[in-house]
Amino acid sequence: MKKIEHIGIAVKDLNVSNKLFSKLLGVSHYKEEEVLSEHVKTSFFKRGPNKIELLEAIDNEGPIAQFLEKKGEGVHHIAFEVDDIVAEIIRLKKEGFTILNETPKKGADNKLVAFVHPKSSNGVLIELCQDVSKEM
């Protein structure tokens, strides 16, 4: 685990929240990206070294639609940057954490991602992400 790479926030309406977070942070989002496999549209903000990812469900399936229905808008996950996601998955499994996808998948923002089940991490969904922009 290295630093926190970003914090993910589930929102109902990405356009509305893009405007809200632009006002809050004083900068506009620098990209929007759909991740069809996750049924989400994302936008990213950067302030200093910190990034915020907003996530909107693009249909009624997928984890963000589920989350919004159960909990409403709010913090959805904390993402940590890792150098070697496969090694980190193995390490966390040995430590007793439940990994939601043991095979890393392609996430937004040129990342390979894997998630730790919130039941094994005090109710917080943890994303591991490895930057693969240089390899693509």
DSSP state of 26: S
As measured in angstroms, the least distance from the Cβ of 107 to Co ion is: 6
Q: 56 by DSSP, 3-state: which?
A: strand
Over the window 37 to 66, marking each residue x when it contacts Co ion by CB under 5 A and - when it does not, the resulting string is ----------------x-------------
In the sheet that holds 40-47, the strands lie side by side as: 31-35, 40-47, 50-57, 4-11, 74-81, 126-131, 111-116, 105-106
Residue from 8, 29, 45, 85 touching Co ion (CB under 5 A): that is: 8
Q: Does 79 bind Co ion (CB under 5 A)?
A: yes
Answer yes or no: are the C-beta atoms of 112 and 105 closer than 8 Å. yes
As measured in angstroms, the least distance from the Cβ of 115 to Co ion is: 9
Residues that bind Co ion (CB under 5 A): 8, 53, 79, 127
